Structure 1
Amino acid sequence: MTTTATAGASRPTGVTTGGRRNGVLAGTGTLLRFGLRRDRVRLPVWIAAVFLVTVSTANNVKTLYPEAADRAGVARTSDSPAVLAMTGPVRYLADYTYGAMLGHRLLGLTVVLVGLMSILLVTRHTRAEEESGRAELVRSAAIGRHAHLAAALGLAAIANLALALLLTAALGGLGIESITTGGSLLYGLSVATGGLLGAAAAAVTVQLTAHTRAASGGALAVIGAAFALRAAGDAGDNGLSWVSPIGWLQRTYVFVDNRWWPLLLTLLLAAATTAGAFALSTRRDLGAGLRPARLGPPTATAALGTPLGFALRLHRGTLLAFAAAVLLLGAMYGSILGNADDMLKDVDQIQDALKRVGGTSIADSLAALTLMVVAVIAAVHAVMATLRPRGEESGGRAEPVLATGLSRAGWLGSHLTVALAGSTLLTLATGVGFGAAGAASTGDAGAFWRLLGGALAYAPALWVTVGFAAALYGWFPRAVPLAWIVPAYAFVIGHLGPLLKLPEAMNNLSPFGHVPRLPAVGMAWTPIALLTAVAAALIALGLVGFARRDLDMK
């Protein structure tokens, strides 16, 4: 029987008499503002990083290649399948102005980087919210079914458009010949469109799987496949690039022809993909994915019942993905070693940079410089793997595990063991890919072992990276984002330092700066031993700190 009090009770805001919500997008604006508040540091860092890399590259291009003859020489040596696979279509090489060089060498890579930013942004504000249970709590209020997804896509759109405006204003204001205002606008919008496409891909993958890592990995696989198709098409000049949206964006021929219609084609694809994501979201339950979870075996293996085996199972997917990536990247870079002398012999600035690295040949110096860059990519995995226990702790999953007979040192040590062994495995994969392709391109079978040794020499630097992150987690868990300083600083100093002739003292602040630059120079065991000792001390410090502090209880 309905009482007067019950009948007269006010209904929750946003709910109709039938109990239905006032539209599937109700609350989108509130969630969007909340997302901006949550990512008030993360997004500016992403945008600033892409912005600074682009602007500094544009300035460096003018400094390194001041004469038309210098740029023409680079264009001639870039007209090879290996270089075109890593850069872009051959059309840019016809008149290699500053703008053409910037669009040719940077646009595709920037699109991939911004796509990564957008993917992580969308999965963080959608699937991660569902997986943690926060989305269910929020949806119990006056929030529509599509509000989370719409807010995440809106956040990605704001970030990408802000980056586009910054790039347009900065590039157009540099006053560099051939980098025009109209071309700068097209460049910025092309980068932003690539980011929107990444966001759309993530919007689909979060509907397919119930796990954040799988959703991010699926969207990244889409971006990787698009880049691979573009690379195969440009290397073979076979039209395969037209299958890839990254190939479409590069065929705007920014600063060369400034064609706008490929940009519109990519926007249409992003819009259609986004519409498909919204349609798919209506076909699943909150917290579930359209793809049913695979049933596991009825009993766990003996290894899964151990701390190390369980940690390895948690890290397995990410580790295999990184191993495949560095193997492929190493093979791509190794394939150009045979043409290194012809490619770089006329570029004085690059010659000077390689001389600072050392070595008796351009191929060895280039190999040493390239191995450092790929090692930094492996350092990204080292940080991710080391910080995985923080996610387990903050998610409330570490507490019940540690309530058993498992010690804190055993639990954290198992994750750190996987991080250390995984980092070593990545150096091995890099060396195998780089060595095999390098030996094939140079015709020197012995190059395989030299390049493999050069890659493995970076393992202690990766161990130091693990140790630094472990020390932060053990003593200052809220400060663990600072662990990303190590790979970021190493990339800037190692990649740009030789070109910009930065002081050697800056290089010494990075663990990667103390690794012998094999195969350009001989092996030195003292820095390897010191790096190993520093890594061991940092890991021990982290274990002690974790044993002394309180857990983040849920």
Structure 2
Amino acid sequence: MRGNFDYSGRLVRFILRRERIVSSLWIVILALFSIVIAPTLGNNFDATSRQAFVETLKNPGMIALMGPIYGVDNYTVGAMYSNTMFLWVIMAVVVMNVFLVVRHTRGDEEKGRSEVLRSLPTGRLANLNATMITAVVVNVALALVTGLGLAAMRVESMDLAGSMLFGVAIGAAGLFFAAVAAVFAQLSVTSRGAIAYSFVAFGILYFIRAIGDINSETLSLICPLGLIQRTQIYVENHWWPVPILLLETVGVTAIAYALNSIRDMEQGFIPAKPGRKEASVFLRSPFGLSLRLLRNSLIAWFIVMFSLGAAYGSILGDIDRFVGQSDFYQKIIKINDEFSIAKMFITMVTSILSLIGTIPVIIAALKLRSEEKDGRMEHVLSRAVSRTKYLACYVVLSFLSSVLFQCAIALGIYTAAVSVMPNPSELSLGYLLQANLVYLPALWVMIGGAILLIGLLPKATVAIWGYFGFTFFAAFIGMAAGLPEWLNKLNPFGYIPQLPTDTINFVTLVILTVIAAILTAVGFIFYRKRDMMA
């Protein structure tokens, strides 16, 4: 066994060098997101509004979404922060770890890099071992930065012990799912499959945790996500779930090592499903191929957007009392006597969810670039398929998916609202569709920016995510922190009318649509001229 780990240390340094930018950005963004929210809650929620808020969480829908509620009798800022933020941060950490592990294991095998490393005097398990050590380094760094950053905010009831426990807990959860990704990297024959299996495993565990939190404490304790929530951060600060989760991580990692030790290079234990001898008529077209590549992602994101809409819709039954006792929400949703509180609350919800819905449409738009980088697009273009036509397929799918996800949000809100509101007709499906679809021009501008980068600066396509981060900060954080209006106008969402208080200015929406069309057209022009793999 000793020889299996030869030169792991050098590979750790090599992987850390490759990850110095990507992982650093992940750590900074996740830590800032966690840290910035804390003082916002402390400054805008007093004891009365916090108690009103916690009452809206006491329903199965919100418990299934965010987990059990701790500290109800004395709902401090720390308890509120932990209840509302913990699982969301863990989700982002899971994404970071899954991509990190798969990128340096199954991903490197697909690109032939692992074969080059194995031709050197490195151990059979050295690459996987180095990847897991790197995951430890990244998660420890994230835990320290987040924990110390939260403590430095000096928010009431968010002390150093609770803040460090928050950081350690999200780091431990990240390591567990890094180990899960390592297992699926051995089982699957493709990096795409390993990522998909890892996220499905997370979804299953999330579902088990939701059921356990509603009906069975034992089931929640068995589930890693439910277990780590029993830390009761900023309430009781239990440390005992962390070592248990780390022991589970060691066990899952050992399974990954065992599988890697008996697996042939570029093979997996879950065989690829044999395809048809001949492609279907639909798959023979460039559009059909593009849709097939995006199909699973689109379905998954539709479910996510519908579920988020339903989660917010489930609290509308008690929204009048909650908002009426919260100065914070009264400020950001601009309560007036002309419109109901439910409609004004939905204005805020549609703004937030539309921003989240920007993520999958950008992913769809950038899918062509990932196919190009992986060398698969050359096979398509070697046929009688023009660049313009193939790019147009992804552009059309991106624009169509933006409509699909906005409709999913409206349907989710409506489905949940009609079952909890005393007067369901107050929020008709038609009104909800209008309130969500009005954001389409802003989403289209983001798609246009992605297409422009693909055509003009293909190596800088990551810049669209930087702009999205600014947009999210200006629209979401700015809404709570009261940032200057001019800053919000630097993003397309700042020009969208806030129904029902604002009237729809079709001139503004048309201008945004024209800007999106221009960005897209310029992207097409440069894409036709540039070299492939540029």
The alignment's C-alpha RMSD in Å is 2.2
Q: Is the 8 A contact 1:81 1:236 kept in 2?
A: no
Deviation readout 1:419-477 (Å, 9 max, x if unpaired): 22222222222222222222333242452221122222222222211110010110111
What aligned pairs does 1:286-365 form with structure 2 within 5 A after superposition?
Answer: 286-355=265-334, 360-365=339-344
Residue 522 to residue 438, structure 1, CA distance change in 2 (3 Å): farther
Structure 1 equivalent of residue 220 of structure 2: 241
Among 120, 129, 135, the alignment partner of 1:156 is 135
Deviation for aligned residue 1:519: 4.8
Deviation readout 1:497-524 (Å, 9 max, x if unpaired): 2211112222222122222333554433
Structure 2 equivalent of residue 93 of structure 1: 72
Structure 1 equivalent of residue 19 of structure 2: 39
Matched, 1:528 2:509: yes
Deviation for aligned residue 1:356: 7.9
Could you tell me how far apart the structure 2 residues matched to 1:192 and 1:356 are?
A: 40
Q: Which moved more, 1:260-269 or 1:473-482?
A: 260-269
Task: State the SS of the aligned residue for 1:516.
Answer: coil
Structure 2 equivalent of residue 189 of structure 1: 168
Task: State the SS of the aligned residue for 2:236.
Answer: coil
Could you tell me how far apart the structure 2 residues matched to 1:468 and 1:532 are?
A: 12
Among 465, 468, 479, the alignment partner of 1:487 is 468
Matched, 1:456 2:456: no
Larger radius of gyration: 1
Residue 182 to residue 234, structure 1, CA distance change in 2 (3 Å): same
Q: Is the 8 A contact 1:171 1:184 kept in 2?
A: yes
Structure 1 equivalent of residue 485 of structure 2: 504
Deviation for aligned residue 1:239: 5.1
Could you tell me how far apart the structure 2 residues matched to 1:447 and 1:27 are?
A: 63
What aligned pairs does 1:122-161 form with structure 2 within 5 A after superposition?
Answer: 122-161=101-140
Deviation readout 1:153-174 (Å, 9 max, x if unpaired): 1111111101111223223333
Could you tell me which amino acid in structure 2 is paired with residue 27 of structure 1? Y
Structure 2 equivalent of residue 102 of structure 1: 81
Q: Is the 8 A contact 1:357 1:498 kept in 2?
A: no
Could you tell me which amino acid in structure 2 is paired with residue 367 of structure 1? I
Could you tell me how far apart the structure 1 residues matched to 2:314 and 2:303 are?
A: 17
Could you tell me which amino acid in structure 2 is paired with residue 462 of structure 1? L
Structure 2 equivalent of residue 467 of structure 1: 448
Deviation for aligned residue 1:75: 3.1
Q: Which moved more, 1:235-244 or 1:196-205?
A: 235-244
Residue 264 to residue 238, structure 1, CA distance change in 2 (3 Å): closer
Name the count of aligned residue pairs: 532
What aligned pairs does 1:19-30 form with structure 2 within 5 A after superposition?
Answer: 23-30=3-10
Residue 287 to residue 413, structure 1, CA distance change in 2 (3 Å): same
Q: Is the 8 A contact 1:333 1:370 kept in 2?
A: yes
Q: Is the 8 A contact 1:369 1:495 kept in 2?
A: no
Among 201, 210, 234, the alignment partner of 1:231 is 210
Could you tell me how far apart the structure 2 residues matched to 1:434 and 1:33 are?
A: 48
Q: Is the 8 A contact 2:320 2:341 kept in 1?
A: yes
What aligned pairs does 1:28-67 form with structure 2 within 5 A after superposition?
Answer: 28-65=8-45, 67=46
Could you tell me which amino acid in structure 1 is paired with residue 97 of structure 2? S
Deviation readout 1:489-547 (Å, 9 max, x if unpaired): 23222222221111222222212222233355443322322222111111110010011
What aligned pairs does 1:134-283 form with structure 2 within 5 A after superposition?
Answer: 134-235=113-214, 240-283=219-262
Could you tell me how far apart the structure 2 residues matched to 1:172 and 1:245 are?
A: 26
Could you tell me how far apart the structure 2 residues matched to 1:135 and 1:423 are?
A: 38
Residue 500 to residue 409, structure 1, CA distance change in 2 (3 Å): same
Q: Is the 8 A contact 1:358 1:521 kept in 2?
A: no
Q: Is the 8 A contact 2:109 2:115 kept in 1?
A: yes
Q: Is the 8 A contact 2:49 2:322 kept in 1?
A: no
Q: Is the 8 A contact 1:99 1:256 kept in 2?
A: yes
State the identity %. Answer: 34
Normalised by the length of structure 1, the TM-score is 0.91
Could you tell me how far apart the structure 2 residues matched to 1:472 and 1:177 are?
A: 44
Structure 1: gaps spanning 5 or more residues = 1-20
Could you tell me how far apart the structure 2 residues matched to 1:302 and 1:388 are?
A: 22
Could you tell me how far apart the structure 2 residues matched to 1:79 and 1:387 are?
A: 40
Could you tell me which amino acid in structure 1 is paired with residue 210 of structure 2? A
Could you tell me how far apart the structure 2 residues matched to 1:383 and 1:28 are?
A: 36
Q: Is the 8 A contact 1:90 1:234 kept in 2?
A: no
Q: Is the 8 A contact 2:12 2:131 kept in 1?
A: yes
Could you tell me how far apart the structure 2 residues matched to 1:539 and 1:178 are?
A: 49
Deviation readout 1:325-370 (Å, 9 max, x if unpaired): 1112211121112221122211112111110899722211221221
What aligned pairs does 1:382-531 form with structure 2 within 5 A after superposition?
Answer: 382-442=361-421, 443-445=423-425, 447-519=428-500, 521-531=502-512
Residue 154 to residue 360, structure 1, CA distance change in 2 (3 Å): same
Could you tell me which amino acid in structure 2 is paired with residue 149 of structure 1? L
Q: Is the 8 A contact 1:35 1:155 kept in 2?
A: yes
Structure 2: gaps spanning 5 or more residues = none
Could you tell me which amino acid in structure 1 is paired with residue 243 of structure 2? L
